[in-house]
Structure 1
Amino acid sequence: MVVIVGGWAVTHAHPSAPAPATGGGVAQSTCPMATLPREAMDTVKRIQAGGPFPFPGSDGEVFANHEGHLPKQRRGYYHEYTVVTPHAHDRSMRRIVTGGTPLAHPEQYFYTGNHYDSFCLVTDAGGQP
């Protein structure tokens, strides 16, 4: 939200929206689960249970990190999962990207709400930061 007060622009970020991770080519901000959409927790629970996933042809696929916004790792380290967006007719833009093995208990969880433009490291999803 942007508010103009006496010629000054004041911005206010939505409290449930994590700060984007930018700069340096790696995810630098952190976000506890409580700051993410409720559906992100549903996705984490599905990951930890090994499924089922709402988009089985896409969820769990290797995420190649072409944009370079996550720390550089070997191919196959990252996997992506859809965070369902209510009322969307497709996968929309929200994802959880995990890093490490095993797949059901990865070392790291990252969230993006803007289809890989930025990420935050989820600090309390069960992995290690």
Structure 2
Amino acid sequence: MELVKWLRLQWDRALGGVAMGLGVLLLVVGWIEVSSTEFVAAQIPYVVSAGLGGLVALMLGGTLWLSADLRDEWRVLDRIDQKLAEGDELVEALEGRLAELEERVAASPAQPANGSVTAPRRRAGTAGGSHS
């Protein structure tokens, strides 16, 4: 059942792999048939059917595989975009909280940073006495 689930999720990658395998098989069959035929007129149908068909299958398979890779990259980019949006929301919330705290600080009476409400003590001998 895991294979069926994987095929449903990765249908373009699976189909691309099958198409590329078919393209290689057609090119090999065409090369074998052309190499075993002596006359150019008899080789042309193999070149047209197997050669061109193989090239078309290879290109189609490569396009499907590339499409699957691009979809994977888009998923990653969507997740990154979602995380950035969450980060923006967090920054906005923090800015709002900071503004609230700044308003509270501005509204409260000024107090010294060390929490004391008394004036700092003077050093001895600086109040007007002489220093000799």
Could you state the TM-score of these two structures normalised by the residue count of structure 1? 0.24
Could you state the TM-score of these two structures normalised by the residue count of structure 2? 0.24
Structure (1/2) with the larger strand percentage: 1
Structure (1/2) with the larger helix percentage: 2
